[in-house]
């Protein structure tokens, strides 16, 4: 059962307003649908736009931040739980351990790195969590094209397409999570390695 949704997202405060609007709408839906939210604990960017609205609509917030970022003062006091980790690797491990689903909003290299790791974790059978990319303003179109290039050139097996879902809007994210059924992934050499 999905209870805690991990949000990976940009910490930039300098984006087009439509990205903040989509993040806030997703946060509202997270709260309204009885989910809680796990995220980086920041008071910045799309992370905070989503978290602030989720909390306003009843979600419990769990922040996980490496001490280096905490020392920069970019954390919020709005979290119900807040964990400080030694570094980014430990942060990702903690987030993975306490979340039931992953949603990537528009983001930079950190979001891309976190998303990639979660896809690989699922590919190798370490989890069966839903992984969703919220494709606000077509942000992930080119990344999806690159994923297809990876598959077409046989750097990855075509079954990786089933590991993630690209949602067009916040409602699509929630609908997917509500209807998600973990599949029994065939984690063997033939399923993992490209053919």
Count the helix, strand and coil residues of the chain and give each as a percent rounded to the nearest 5. Answer: 50, 15, 35
The Cα 173–Cα 165 span in angstroms is: 9
Q: What is the reported pLDDT for 195? A: 61
Q: How do residues 113-135 score in pLDDT, each as one tens digit?
A: 999 999 999 999 999 999 999 99
For residue 86, pLDDT over 80 is answered with yes
For residue 177, pLDDT over 60 is answered with yes
Question: What is the fold of 4-192?
Answer: Rossmann fold (3.40.50)
For residue 21, pLDDT over 90 is answered with yes
Mean pLDDT of 81-102: 96
Q: How do residues 148-164 score in pLDDT, each as one tens digit?
A: 999 999 999 998 999 99
For residue 71, pLDDT over 80 is answered with yes
Find out whether 81 and 41 touch, Cβ atoms under 8 Å: no
């Amino acid at each position: 059962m999905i209870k805690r949704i991990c949000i990976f997202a940009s910490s930039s405060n300098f984006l087009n307003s439509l990205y903040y609007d989509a993040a806030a709408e997703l946060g509202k839906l997270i709260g309204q649908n009885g989910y809680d939210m796990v995220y980086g604990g920041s008071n910045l960017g799309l992370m905070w736009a989503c978290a602030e609205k989720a909390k306003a609509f009843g979600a419990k917030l769990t922040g996980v931040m490496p001490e280096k970022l905490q020392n920069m003062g970019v954390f919020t006091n709005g979290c119900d739980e807040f964990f400080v980790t030694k570094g980014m690797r430990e942060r990702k491990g903690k987030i993975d351990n306490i979340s039931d689903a992953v949603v990537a909003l528009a983001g930079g290299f950190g979001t891309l790195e976190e998303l990639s790791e979660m896809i690989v974790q699922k590919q190798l059978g370490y989890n069966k969590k839903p992984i969703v990319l919220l494709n606000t303003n077509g942000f992930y179109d080119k990344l999806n094209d690159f994923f297809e290039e990876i598959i077409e050139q046989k750097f990855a097996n075509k079954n990786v397409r089933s590991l993630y879902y690209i949602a067009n809007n916040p409602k699509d994210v929630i609908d997917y999570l509500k209807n998600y059924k973990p599949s029994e992934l065939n984690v063997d050499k033939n399923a993992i390695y490209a053919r």
